[in-house]
Structure 1
């Protein structure tokens, strides 16, 4: 009896990813396993770490053997995450283990101290010399920059730590992006940035269909990380949101209420009513609070002088700035604690 040959139909690119988990193909068998090590620093961001790890593990579910992962600590014993959960890494990081790695990911967090460790710096520099791809999550990029490994690279880091990174890595291009992949450096500024980074990196190694398959399993909806702004957390009508965006974009030279009303296509009285009904305040007061809030952020997290800050936030004089600042925070701007190291 003749053998019947049935031609296999292929899904189109648009649907292949969503069906990938049900297909028997395994292109990953033709490629070597990529070995990824995660360095868990004290108070590392557990969500950022697990988001990146989850993308790799899920890719392995679709195409077994693509990635091998392991975790490291800077010392023997356990590491405490930002959520207070205790993790015991697979082993302590040292130079001898680099031969078994293709990628080394530094996992930092909001409370991870930005301190240079001579031994850790040596490991990072050796990894770079051996051609290992280096990555950083949350403020992990600072440790790469401190080791001199981000010179001439674009990178991402949590907004609170951008000034600190710019200080130790003068020629690095510190962006406001959620993640950046620049040659053999991968950096992410947040948990959402971490998974976006991982997915983009996987796509660069394999194909779009694999990433779509991972997204389908994780039910991942892309939401690009941006610097958190007050206007993005407020539920208001579309006309008022446009006004809030205008305010946020014009802090150095505040717009007059009449200008805002014209841009919004409303009268001054209508605009005042929108603020009163939806925010419970006046446009002038909200604008002031927006500017004073940004002034506090700049004083705490940048090395700008008080004069530079007051100019950047639209205050006409040091005395005016000091009076407004004191009215909100109970102390003069000169007393604000600088958080930049």
Structure 2
């Protein structure tokens, strides 16, 4: 590994980089996978170029915090004026069961961080806390679909998107563990360049990760507009977008988009989108404890019968057979 990544280790060796400090505010029932995706990325960056990043975990008080997976973490410090000194990034770590409840003290700390010029990030539903503090006004952001309506209602001046991650100047938001990983990579790339990002990806090898979705078709020789459309599809499996919306995003007509898919991937965009959702459904059935109903909802199917019909047509057996096949 050292030989493979020698070019990353030696890059910019003559010019020591200033250490960047990242703080993580852990809220009760925060998403441990989303948090560790960002943390692991920073730790791996330090393996390639030692000392680039330092990390600190914060709590709202001195108590231990229970993550969404039931693991207990004792933060390094309590969030406060002294804790904010020297920070470059403050990440609000929420989760599916994190209550949307921000008291005046938390709002004051967040506004104080923004006033100091600290970049602010939100994981899962962490964007809601930034929104309630008025710190997303005029920004685009991402948030888990479960909490998207609440933030849109609360923050009228915020563009709440359905994307997996959004980086808008000094606001970074992600709605899932996969989005958190890509968010961290993009932030690191902006600070230290593409070479370091490629080195991190080489080491972490996320092809085998449970958080990486299966790619149905190879992305080699795919044009930039098509890559953007596919990325948008992958970020919107739970609430599939219309083909006309995808075409508008790509700056193409529906007919042009269909021709691009046919020429470069050999399939219509509707079929490609369905394959993404079906393969993601299979991954969830194989590697999670979600029920079949939860899986079909997560992958944008309208009914159990429709899901079963599509699944059977693609894999040759019903989704109810999936776990038994794996076992």
Q: Is the pair's TM-score, using the shorter chain for normalization, greater than 0.5?
A: yes
C-alpha distance in structure 1 between counterparts of 2:118 and 2:140, whole Å: 17
Kindly provide the CA deviation profile for residues 262-298 of structure 1, in whole angstroms up to 9, marking residues without a partner as x: xxxxxxxxx9x969x7669xxxxxxxxxxxxxxxxxx
**Structure 2 CA distance for aligned equivalents of residues 243 and 136 of structure 1:** 31
Q: Distance in 2 between matches of 1:99 and 1:44?
A: 24
Q: CA deviation at 1:99?
A: 1.1
Say how many residue pairs are matched. 232
Are 2:31 and 2:95, in contact at CA under 8 Å, matched by a contact in 1? yes
Alignment of structure 1 residues 1-341 onto 2, 5 Å: 19-21=4-6, 24-27=9-12, 29-221=15-207, 223=213, 225-229=234-238, 242=271, 245=274
Deviation of 1:18 (Å)? 9.1
Root-mean-square deviation (CA, aligned residues, Å) is: 3.0
Identify if the C-alpha distance between structure 1 residues 274 and 46 changes in structure 2 by more than 3 Å, giving closer, same or farther. closer
Shift of 1:77: 1.7
User: Which segments of 5 or more consecutive residues in structure 2 lack a partner in the other structure?
Assistant: 214-230, 241-266, 278-309, 320-327
**Secondary structure of 1:76's aligned partner:** coil
Counterpart CA distance in 2 for 1:181 and 1:23 is 25
- Residues 209-230 of structure 1 show CA distances to partners (whole Å, capped at 9, x for unaligned) of 1111000100024655523449
Q: Relative to structure 1, is the Cα distance of residues 176 and 76 closer, same or farther in structure 2, using a 3 angstrom cutoff?
A: same
Q: Specify whether residues 209 and 18 from structure 1 end up closer, same or farther in structure 2 by C-alpha distance, changes over 3 A only.
A: farther
CA distance in 2, matches of 1:243, 1:105: 35
CA contact (8 A) 1:159 1:227 kept: no
Name the SS for the 2:102 alignment partner.
coil
Is contact 2:44–2:200 with CA below 8 Å preserved after alignment?
Answer: yes
Contact 1:136–1:187 at 8 Å: present in 2 too? yes
| Deviation of 1:177 (Å) | 0.9
Greater CA drift, 182-191 or 88-97: 88-97
Deviation, 1:25, is 1.3
Report SS of the residue matched to 1:112. Answer: coil
Is the CA contact 1:80–1:87 (under 8 Å) kept in the aligned structure 2?
A: yes
Check the 8 A contact 1:36/1:101 in 2, yes or no: yes
Q: Which has the larger radius of gyration?
A: 1
| Structure 1 residues 24 and 74: CA distance shift in structure 2, 3 A | closer
Superposed displacement of residue 21, structure 1: 4.6
- TM-score w.r.t. the length of structure 1 is 0.62
Counterparts in 2 of 1:188 and 1:230: CA distance versus 1, 3 Å: closer
